[in-house]
């Protein structure tokens, strides 16, 4: 990744995090922008979102993000339009790394305890 794409990704992550704090429903699951990856031509921003909530809440939030991509991009544009000629298209992906890390930790704990302690 070039320095320019890293700077753009960092700015988008910061601004999208701020938008999430203000625009997402407070009663819903907790969502955090964990990473933004930008294509070399700055045309597409892949936004990775970590969601803490039930499976249904995570699915609902991802559906919301996909449905509201244009609206979120418009809000983003109003915040940073003076820094870019064109705002990248947004693609949202669920980041399950935290969930996977917790599952690995649980498995490691069960291995350390041994099968006789689990019963």
Per-residue model confidence as pLDDT tens digits over 47-90: 999 988 888 989 999 999 999 999 999 999 998 888 877 899 99
% of the chain with per-residue pLDDT over 90:
47
Identify the residue with better confidence: 28 or 8.
8
What are the φ and ψ backbone dihedral angles of 53, each rounded to 5 degrees?
170, 180
Secondary structure of the chain in HEC code, one letter for each residue: CCHHHHHHHHHHHHHHHHHHHHHCCCCCCEEEEEEEEECCCCCEEEEEEEEECCHHHHHHHHHHHHHCHHHHHHHHHHHHHHHCCCCCEEEEEECCHHHHHHHHHHHHHHHHHCHHHHC
Tokens of 46: 């892949």
Residue with tokens 């690995």: 104
Q: pLDDT-derived band of residue 110, with 50, 70 and 90 as boundaries?
A: confident
Regarding pTM above 0.85, the answer is no
The mean pLDDT value of the chain amounts to 85
66-88 residues labelled b (16+ CB within 10 A) or e (exposed)? eebeeebbebbeeeeeeeeeebb
Asked if residue 113 has pLDDT above 80, the reply is no
Is residue 87 within 8 A of residue 73, CB to CB? The reply is yes
Domain ranges of the chain: 3-118
Identify the residue with better confidence: 119 or 80.
80
Q: pLDDT-derived band of residue 27, with 50, 70 and 90 as boundaries?
A: low
Instruction: Report pLDDT for 29.
Output: 77
CATH number of 3-118: 3.30.300.20
Instruction: Report pLDDT for 100.
Output: 58
């Amino acid at each position: 990744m070039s320095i320019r794409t890293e700077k753009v990704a960092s700015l988008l992550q910061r601004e999208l995090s701020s938008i999430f704090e203000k625009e997402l429903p407070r009663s819903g699951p907790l969502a955090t922008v964990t990473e933004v990856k930008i294509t070399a031509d700055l045309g597409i921003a892949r936004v990775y979102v970590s969601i803490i909530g039930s499976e249904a809440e995570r699915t609902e939030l991802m559906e919301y993000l996909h449905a509201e991509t244009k609206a979120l991009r418009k809000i983003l544009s109003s915040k940073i339009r003076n820094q870019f000629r064109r705002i990248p298209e947004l693609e949202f992906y669920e980041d399950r790394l935290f969930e996977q890390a917790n599952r690995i930790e649980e498995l490691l704990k069960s291995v350390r305890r041994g099968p006789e302690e689990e019963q």
